[in-house]
Structure 1
Amino acid sequence: MKVRATAKRVAFGLCVFCLLVYLVFPFGWALVSSFKTNAELFATPARFWPAHPTLEHYRHVLANDDFLRAALNSVFVACSVTLVSLAIGALSAFALGRYRFRGRSLVLYVVLSMTLFPQIAVLGALFQLVNALGLYNRLPALTLTYLVFTLPFTVWVLTGFLEAVPIEIEEAAIMDGASPLQLFAKIMLPLAAPGMVTTGLLSFIAAWNELLFALSFMQTPDKRTVTYAILSFSATTSSAFEVPWGQMMAASVLVTTPLVVLALIFQRRIIAGLTAGAVKG
């Protein structure tokens, strides 16, 4: 039995190690490639560490005005999507999580079903909506369209979180004369902080990494987001037959690093937010 238990632990450890390598290797390879010279990028056999590390690709990326402008555009879009998702999602979750009314379950299932649609399935309808509102090639178009996917997730997670808040807390606040708006702002929002951090960070990451809608609704270089800008590097090089892999890897590292740092800083709140309400006590 002891040998069997040891074998299980070893097998589990190997599975975890393989999964870790599978998840981390792409980012690690991009990081290493961003320090390689152009000659080393195409050398065979491939080197797992550059013989002559260089910051040339980072200098080119940071000197690229289109990329820097795209980074600012992504910051604006991601922050606006996060704020709007949290504002609308928290109010909706408060109503769905703390009040009982006919059709409540149906509303929750409809909200959840919105996360099941692939982007391409709603692209045509959203394109017509953006054109009708006169938002084509404007950053608010991305804020509006990204809410289609970030808002349902925010509502669903925060609803489950607010449902887990003991009813005694709500009753005590009402006995003290708190209005529904005061109950929401002064009681529920502070208690929902882990859920707000979770949904806010995941909404930010989703908006930051999105590409399909940015390709569809943004055309001019001054309106592109970082993912679109990285994709466009090959069209702005001096040679039509050259793909600037080094610059693309450096830009990918610059774009991904802030997200990794945020995830590491808020990892405990993310776990608490995702597991809130899973066990009633």
Structure 2
Amino acid sequence: MTVSAVTTRRYSNATYRTLRRVKTAGLYAGVAAVLVYMLFPYYWAIVSSTKTGQALYQFTLLPALDFSNYRQLFDNPVFMGALVNSGVVALVSTAVSLVIGILAAYALGRLHFPPGRIVLIAVLMISVFPQVVVLSGMFEVIGWLGLYNRPSALIVSYLILTLPFTTWILTSFIRDLPNELEEAALIDGCSRLRILTHVLLPLMGPAIASTGLLSFILAWNEFLFALTFILTDENRTVPVAIGLLTGSSRYEYPFGQIMAASVTVTLPLLVLVLIFQRKIVAGLTSGAVKG
């Protein structure tokens, strides 16, 4: 090998290493930019929740460690009652949605009947409708049921949001379970309900955890139905209570308290996601790889 060939090879190797370093640096820079874009609003909410008065209009990266906004918020009986209302409504609506969704998913995923595909398509179509489209119809239904200005009105209305999503995800999960399990149970004399509750349901933990948590978050954050169907403060949920926070005067905008309320409302969801993160990933990725 000549000297010129060796030199050329060294330059090519050096160029390759340089390009690889540039690509790696670009990748890390892109990931850092995405993380800053996604996490900075939450960080800024935490920083703003510890500021009062003129400090809100001053740019600082470190929290002021002034928790007066949180104290005022926790001393507000309307907000604390809204926290309880949101928890009860979200839990009940999620539980009802899971019970109905599991039964519907088993029927659509295991019981083969001619209209099954049409029903599943209809469920998917309902899930993509905006809330405004069904708001007037839901208003009439809630009034006809006599549930206006009651927490049960939100539970009934939230099923329109959570039930199609729950049914669709659980149907896909049940279809991926082995048919041999159900056939063996049928041979042993198990009924359909017993197969669902004792054979399939224990295997559906990841799917139930993921759909249940996402349904809970959807019900916890819902604003339009809660604003429309609830009038009194004692029955309001957290999103509406945050939107109706007022300052000490009509000209004061309680930005610090709103940020404190946002942080307070986000913490339970963050804790739930951290607890069930593995089951969420397992439930959402189930059926993606078959072998």
Same fold (TM over 0.5): yes
Supply the distance in 1 between the matched residues of 2:31 and 2:160 (Cα, whole angstroms): 34
* TM-aligned CA deviation for residue 260 of structure 1: 0.8
Supply the distance in 2 between the matched residues of 1:101 and 1:213 (Cα, whole angstroms): 35
Supply the distance in 2 between the matched residues of 1:78 and 1:231 (Cα, whole angstroms): 19
Residue identity (%) = 49
Selected match of 2:219 from 200, 204, 207: 207
Letter in structure 1 aligned against 2:54:
A
- Matched ranges for 1:22-61 at <5 A: 22-43=37-58, 46-50=59-63, 52-61=64-73
Is contact 1:194-1:272 (8 Å) kept?
A: yes
Paired residue secondary structure (2:114): coil
Question: Relative to structure 1, is the Cα distance of residues 219 and 183 closer, same or farther in structure 2, using a 3 angstrom cutoff?
Answer: same
**Which has the larger displacement, 28-37 or 139-148?**
28-37
Letter in structure 1 aligned against 2:134:
V
Supply the distance in 2 between the matched residues of 1:7 and 1:180 (Cα, whole angstroms): 60
Is contact 1:37-1:246 (8 Å) kept?
A: yes
Selected match of 1:268 from 251, 266, 278: 278
Question: Relative to structure 1, is the Cα distance of residues 30 and 179 closer, same or farther in structure 2, using a 3 angstrom cutoff?
Answer: same
Question: Relative to structure 1, is the Cα distance of residues 157 and 5 closer, same or farther in structure 2, using a 3 angstrom cutoff?
Answer: farther
C-alpha RMSD of the superposition: 1.4
Question: Relative to structure 1, is the Cα distance of residues 14 and 106 closer, same or farther in structure 2, using a 3 angstrom cutoff?
Answer: farther
Selected match of 1:244 from 254, 276, 288: 254
- Matched ranges for 1:63-212 at <5 A: 63-212=75-224
Letter in structure 2 aligned against 1:83:
A
Gaps of 5+ in 2: 1-15
Supply the distance in 1 between the matched residues of 2:80 and 2:210 (Cα, whole angstroms): 28
Supply the distance in 1 between the matched residues of 2:30 and 2:115 (Cα, whole angstroms): 44
* TM-aligned CA deviation for residue 216 of structure 1: 0.7
Supply the distance in 2 between the matched residues of 1:70 and 1:267 (Cα, whole angstroms): 27
Supply the distance in 2 between the matched residues of 1:148 and 1:106 (Cα, whole angstroms): 18
**Which has the larger displacement, 13-22 or 52-61?**
13-22
* TM-aligned CA deviation for residue 71 of structure 1: 0.6
Supply the distance in 1 between the matched residues of 2:79 and 2:111 (Cα, whole angstroms): 47
Question: Relative to structure 1, is the Cα distance of residues 4 and 173 closer, same or farther in structure 2, using a 3 angstrom cutoff?
Answer: farther
Is contact 1:37-1:53 (8 Å) kept?
A: no
Supply the distance in 1 between the matched residues of 2:111 and 2:20 (Cα, whole angstroms): 49
Paired residue secondary structure (1:233): coil
What is the CA deviation profile of residues 196-226 of structure 1, one whole-angstrom value per residue up to 9, with x for unaligned ones? 0001000000000011111111111111101
2:34 corresponding residue in structure 1: 19
Q: TM-score, normalised by structure 1?
A: 0.94
Supply the distance in 1 between the matched residues of 2:174 and 2:53 (Cα, whole angstroms): 53
What is the CA deviation profile of residues 219-268 of structure 1, one whole-angstrom value per residue up to 9, with x for unaligned ones? 1111110111111112xx32100011111111111100110111111111
Supply the distance in 1 between the matched residues of 2:67 and 2:92 (Cα, whole angstroms): 33
Letter in structure 2 aligned against 1:49:
L
Q: TM-score, normalised by structure 2?
A: 0.91
Supply the distance in 1 between the matched residues of 2:96 and 2:272 (Cα, whole angstroms): 20
* TM-aligned CA deviation for residue 40 of structure 1: 0.7
Paired residue secondary structure (1:123): helix
Find the structure with the greater CA-based Rg.
2
* TM-aligned CA deviation for residue 53 of structure 1: 2.0
What is the CA deviation profile of residues 11-54 of structure 1, one whole-angstrom value per residue up to 9, with x for unaligned ones? 333333222222211111111111123221023xx12224x421
Supply the distance in 2 between the matched residues of 1:13 and 1:109 (Cα, whole angstroms): 42
